[in-house]
């Protein structure tokens, strides 16, 4: 009996698949559509093969490895509800894959563009800005400065929770030394950064927060031009307008943040206690500790550990990976299943592991 030959169409599909330089999957993830492209590579939607939950994967060529390694080294130590979680890092011969939390709400930039602007001191404006400030404050408490804060680097979940991303320019501030690298986007850059002075990282981040707040509630950047040199000039001369539709309290907080002298700017605690946030008790949450509690200390974590033990999973190994910020397959499964346990799964087709 002769063997059945595959139809030409199947053979052609197989040849196309084997010849393609584009992977359809990596590790435990199946790729979906492209979400965006940046300087170093692209970001693709993907689904975890076991849980079905959606993730975003940042794909970078290894020629950019030195910059990416710094980003990973910072990002893997950051665990905050308003910072996108880095789940896992994978490598192939030519690429690095950073698997991160997927935020279906898209960029805060697009959110503002679709609405024109957010109403002054509206619940949405206060909610979004508070979460951004709290995330940046946490980074500073962890001795990191972001240095590339902008609306394009702030993602939103479908229920309007903020997730800060892109830690490529983030640096440690564990030593008292001033920084001197110009980085980030010119429209959000602090005066001391664009003038080439050595600068205090947290003060530069605070300036960027002021630009973000202005853009959220005005619908346009305070310092903007087609020519970068003109933007520099406007920033150095503090040339921006405060529209009549802004309340006095909004004008006050913006003017106290956008100070040429970094030492004159209000601090993050000052921002959070400013009257602009008054009556904002619903959006205020206790700050996460820089010394996190032991895993299993919350009801969701305890429940997940118990279910994993019932299934015979290597709980000790998984927890060791999470505690060590290993960003491997074990820590990824922990974060994805914990997301499900908390009732906030991102799933592409409803497939979940039965835990």
Q: How much is the average pLDDT of 191-216? A: 97
Least confident of 20-29, 100-109, 118-127, 203-212: 20-29
- Binding-site residues for ATP, in ranges, read 58
Residue where one domain finishes, among candidates 83, 101, 119? 101
Rg (CA), the chain: 23
Same domain as 212, residue 112: yes
Average pLDDT of the chain, as a whole number: 89
Q: How many domains does the chain have?
A: 3
Cα angle, residue 240 at apex, residues 234 and 213 outer, rounded to 5°: 115
Structure tokens at 217: 């509630």
Indicate if 331 and 248 belong to the same structural domain: no
Residue 147 clears pLDDT 50, i.e. is over it: yes
- pLDDT number for residue 14: 52
Using pLDDT thresholds of 50, 70 and 90, give the confidence band for residue 292: low
- What CATH number is associated with residue 255? 1.10.510.10
Residue 41 has pLDDT above 50, yes or no: yes
Let me know whether 230 and 113 are in one domain: yes
In a domain, 347, yes or no: no
Please check whether residue 313 lies inside any domain of the structure.
yes
Structure tokens at 205: 């981040």
**Same domain for 304 and 217?**
no
What proportion of the chain, given as a percentage, has pLDDT over 70? Answer: 86
pLDDT value at position 146?
Answer: 98
pLDDT confidence of residue 349: 42
Q: Are 96 and 165 found together in one domain? A: no
Domain match, 94 and 236 both = no
Reply yes or no on whether the pLDDT at 346 is more than 80. Answer: no
Mean pLDDT of the 300-305 span: 96
Task: Please indicate, yes or no, if residue 293 is contained in any of the structural domains.
Answer: no
Cβ–Cβ contacts within 10 Å for residue 328, how many? Answer: 18
Q: For residues 109 and 149, is the Cβ–Cβ distance under 8 A?
A: no
Looking at per-residue confidence, does 280 or 282 come out higher?
280
Question: What is the distance between the alpha carbons of residues 182 and 349, in angstroms, rounded to a whole number?
Answer: 44
For 55-76, write each residue's pLDDT tens digit: 999 999 999 999 899 999 999 9
Task: Name the band, by pLDDT with cuts 50, 70 and 90, for residue 15.
Answer: low
The answer to whether position 133 is within a domain reads yes
For residues 220-244, average pLDDT: 97
Q: Are 215 and 151 in contact (CB under 8 A)?
A: yes
Residue 246 has pLDDT above 80, yes or no: yes
- Alpha-carbon span 136 to 7, nearest angstrom: 57
- Same domain membership, residue 257 and residue 195: yes
In a domain, 282, yes or no: no
Largest Cα–Cα distance in the chain?
A: 88
Binding-site residue numbers are 58
Owning domain of residue 320: 299-341
The pLDDT assigned to 245 comes to: 95
354 catalytic, yes or no?
Answer: no
The pLDDT of residue 324:
96
Q: Quick check: 190 and 203 in contact, CB under 8 A? A: yes
Residue 80 lies in a domain: yes
Model confidence at 124, in pLDDT bands (50, 70, 90)? very high
In a domain, 350, yes or no: no
Which CATH number goes with the domain that contains 44? 3.30.200.20
Confidence of residue 5 (pLDDT cuts 50, 70, 90): low
Question: 92 and 116, same structural domain?
Answer: no
pLDDT of residue 176: 74
Q: What is the 3-state secondary structure (H, E, C) of the chain?
A: CCCCCCCHHHHHHHHHHHHCCCCCEECCEEEEEEEEECCCEEEEEEEECCCCEEEEEEEEEHHHHHHHHHHHHHHCCCCCCCECCEEEEEECCCEEEEEEECCCCCEHHHHHHHHCCCCCCCHHHHHHHHHHHHHHHHHHHCCEECCCCCHHHEEECCCCCEEECCCCCCEECCCCCCECCCCCCHHHCCHHHHCCCCECHHHHHHHHHHHHHHHHHHCCCCCCCCCHHHHHHHHHCCCCCCCCCCCHHHHHHHHHHCCCCHHHCCCHHHHHCCHHHCCCCCCCCCCCCCCCCCCCCCHHHHHHHHHHHHCCCCHHHHHHHHHCCCCCHHHHHHHHHHHHHCCCCCECCCCCCCC
Same domain assignment for residues 305 and 261: no
Do 49 and 93 lie in a common domain? yes
Ranges 52-56, 83-87, 109-113, 281-285: which has the least confidence:
281-285
Domain membership of residue 241 (yes or no) is: yes
pLDDT of residue 28: 97
Bridge-partner residues for 97, per DSSP?
A: 59, 90
**Cα(72)–Cα(49) distance, rounded to whole angstroms?**
23
| Average pLDDT, integer, range 269-282 | 85
pLDDT of residue 73: 95
Higher per-residue pLDDT: 229 or 290 = 229
* 125 and 32 co-located in one domain: no
Considering 4-18, 167-181, 195-209, the range whose residues carry the highest mean pLDDT is 195-209
Q: Which residues contact 33 (CB under 8 A, 6 or more apart)?
A: 44, 45
Give the domain-ending residue among 59, 84, 101: 101
The whole-number average pLDDT for the span 9-26 is: 63
Q: What is the pLDDT of residue 139?
A: 98
pLDDT at position 355 is 36
Domain boundary, last residue among 243, 277, 311: 277
Catalytic annotation, pick one of 61, 110, 124, 148: 148
Query: Are 241 and 153 in the same domain?
Result: yes
């Amino acid at each position: 009996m002769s063997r059945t030959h595959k139809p030409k169409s199947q053979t052609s599909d197989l040849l196309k698949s084997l010849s393609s330089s584009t992977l359809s999957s990596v590790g435990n993830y199946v790729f979906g559509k492209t979400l965006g492209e940046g300087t170093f590579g692209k970001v693709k939607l993907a689904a975890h093969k076991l849980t079905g939950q959606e993730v975003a994967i940042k794909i970078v060529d290894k020629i950019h490895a030195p910059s990416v390694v710094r980003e990973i080294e910072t990002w893997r130590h950051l665990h905050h509800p308003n910072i996108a979680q880095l789940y896992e890092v994978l490598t192939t011969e030519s690429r690095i894959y950073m698997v991160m939390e997927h935020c279906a709400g898209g960029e805060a930039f697009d959110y503002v563009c679709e609405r024109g602007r957010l109403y002054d001191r509206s619940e949405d404006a206060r909610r979004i800005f508070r979460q951004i400030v709290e995330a940046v404050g946490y980074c500073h408490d962890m001795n990191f400065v972001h240095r590339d804060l902008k609306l394009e680097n702030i993602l939103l979940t479908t229920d309007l929770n903020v997730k800060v991303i892109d830690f490529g320019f983030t640096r440690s501030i564990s030593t008292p030394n001033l920084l001197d690298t110009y980085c980030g986007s010119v429209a959000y850059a602090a005066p001391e950064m664009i003038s080439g002075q050595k600068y205090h990282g947290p003060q530069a981040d605070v300036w960027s927060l002021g630009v973000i707040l202005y853009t959220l509630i005005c619908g346009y950047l305070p310092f903007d031009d087609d020519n970068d040199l003109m933007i520099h000039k406007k920033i150095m001369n503090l040339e921006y307008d405060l529209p009549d539709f802004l309340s006095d309290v909004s004008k006050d907080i913006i003017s106290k943040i956008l100070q040429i002298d970094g030492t004159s700017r209000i601090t993050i605690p000052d921002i959070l206690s400013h009257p602009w946030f008054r009556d904002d008790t619903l959006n205020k949450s206790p700050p996460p500790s820089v010394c996190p509690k032991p895993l299993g200390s919350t009801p969701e974590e305890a429940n997940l550990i118990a279910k994993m033990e019932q299934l015979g999973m290597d709980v000790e190994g998984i927890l060791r990976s999470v505690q060590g910020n290993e960003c491997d397959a074990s820590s990824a499964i922990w974060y994805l299943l914990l997301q499900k346990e908390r009732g906030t799964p991102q799933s592409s087709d409803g497939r979940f592991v039965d835990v």
